[in-house]
Structure 1
Amino acid sequence: MTTKLKLARLNDGPEIFYTIQGEGKNLGFPSIFVRLSLCNLYCVWCDTDYTWNWQHTPYPHLRDTEPGYQKYDKAQHIVMMEVEALMEAVGQHPCKHVVITGGEPLVQHKALLPFAQRLKSEGYFIEYETNGTIIPNEALDIYSDQYNVSIKLSNAGVLTEERIRPEAISFFAQSSKSYFKFVVDSPQDLSEVLDLVQNYDIPSDKVYLMPQGTSQALLRQKQQWLVALCKEQGFRYTDRLHIHIYGDKRGV
């Protein structure tokens, strides 16, 4: 049986694009993004809501008040792809650094294994953007180079028991491949970050604080106090560089 992955659809094809990493440890690094569809969470400010905010689901979103905004037809926003087609699409770009993102890519961790094996066999570096709720199976972990773990805080509007999975957080906290990126909306969010860092013994030099926002104005509004918090706690600040360069657009 041939394994297929579910990718987000962009225009007439899958959302695979060559750009720079806009967040976290590898900020500014040229990367090929492979955006998978599906997510096990429902963050109210999510900027990739087309990977999970399906018709007939009850989840609220900040965009609900926008004229014309509506939930997505799942069948119209997913592209099924086999490994060979994925490798062909990735191979069109002059880069050996792949970011597998979503949605939540580890929802498909079993189906990801053949793709990850092929990528590594051809010399690619693989990093995952994950919400830290799903433990990758042992086989996939072997072929993973980096996890960018974005544990969701209460500002995401997700139930605590769904966004905080102790076994999964412990797995990532104990992995040398993990870096932690917290989406911060207000200074009050810091107490949640500190609790997680302390409870799971996360090294402070692996913690990145990132402002929540999808516009340059909103990101800049939060920079000063967020940088100050990073200086106080010994954390690292990460911007959303792609927003400053391209705006809130897909495929860049």
Structure 2
Amino acid sequence: MKLARLGDGAEIFFTLQGEGVGVGAPAVFVRLSLCNLHCVWCDTDHTWNFQGTPWAHEKDSVPGYRKHRKDDVIIEKSAEQVAEIVRGFGCRRVVLTGGEPLLHEAELLVLMKLLRDDGKDWFFEMETNGSRMPNEETLAAIDQFNVSAKLRNSGVAETLRRKPEVLRGLAASGNAWFKFVVQVEEDISEILDLVEVTGLPMNRLILMPEGRTVEELDRIAGWLAGRCRDLGVRFSDRLHVRLWGDKRGV
């Protein structure tokens, strides 16, 4: 499978979950490369913003930023190799993230089977963008889907990112949470419209401020927390940004 490269190896690391309903939980992250969406504020742009691609990113205006050379940011490993790395951390909560992990669905099913064959109590989270429906085997294998459905603020065309039938299917699984990245008040209206169209349960919604620095988060977090309270939905901060900043491998 194609994983994000970090240094000389794969971007597989032991940390605390920084977002969503499991925030603060120790977990091993396995970051897959490649994505079918290309959000302008994405903080893992090394998984898709490759040389020769046409997509824009807000870092384009940062001096020295360039699209990534694939060989510099992708590493290939077998499910067996990934399983061995994951076992080494001694933590049985695993977050499959990306990029878009469902682009590697068959290989991830092999990985989860290998780990569960150890006879230990593994817990698998999958972070997905809500534009692809997992197959039945994946729905059964994943303990928790962290669905980050994209809004207009992502810069992604609506035809690519807005998939009501997928969101309904994930909601029906009973183990999905739906997290939305919020920048401005208008984003709340868009979320509520999507809830009306899809029937997403309000008690499974999580709203999170967009930002890669504490200052950016703080500009949104205060008013967004109040809106979450009034709407009766969960608020999520970005714990890893507050603890370690905009870094990879944390």
The TM-score, its normalising length taken from structure 2, stands at 0.97
Question: What is the CA–CA distance in structure 2 between the aligned matches of 1:79 and 1:182, rounded to whole Å?
Answer: 30
Q: 1:31 aligns with which of 27, 40, 52?
A: 27
Aligned structure 1 segments of 4 or more residues deviating by more than 3 angstroms: none
Coordinate RMSD, CA, aligned: 0.9
* 1:74 pairs with 2:70: yes
Pairwise mapping of residues 120-135 of structure 1 onto structure 2 (< 5 A)?
120-122=116-118, 123-135=121-133
Structure 1: which amino acid aligns with 2:159?
E
Q: 1:177 aligns with which of 171, 175, 192?
A: 175
Contact 1:116 1:140 in 2 (8 A): no
Rounded to whole Å, the distance in 2 between the matches of 1:127 and 1:73 is: 29
Q: Is the 8 A contact 1:10 1:251 kept in 2?
A: yes
Deviations 1:122-155 (A, max 9, x none): 3210000100011111112221101000100000
Equivalent position to 1:43, from 39, 42, 55: 39
Q: State the alpha-carbon separation in 1 of the partners of residues 196 and 248 from structure 2.
A: 36
Deviation at 1:76, TM superposition (A): 2.4
Matches within 5 A, 1:177-196: 177-196=175-194
Give matches, 1:189-228, under 5 Å: 189-228=187-226
Q: After superposition, where does 1:49-198 map in structure 2 within 5 Å? A: 49-122=45-118, 123-198=121-196
The worse-fitting range, judged by mean Cα deviation, of 11-20 and 172-181 is 172-181
8 Å CA contact 1:209, 1:236 repeated in 2: yes
Distance (whole Å) between structure 1 residues aligned to residue 140 and residue 80 of structure 2:
21
Q: How far apart, in 2, do the equivalents of 1:177 and 1:223 lie?
A: 26
**TM value normalised by structure 1:** 0.96
Uncovered stretches (5+) of structure 1, i.e. residues with no partner? none
Identity, % of aligned positions: 48
Residues 44-103 of structure 1 show CA distances to partners (whole Å, capped at 9, x for unaligned) of: 000000000011111010000111100011122111111221111001112110000001
Q: Secondary structure at the match of 1:218?
A: helix
Which 5+ residue runs of structure 2 have no aligned equivalent? none
Secondary structure at 1:118 match in 2? helix
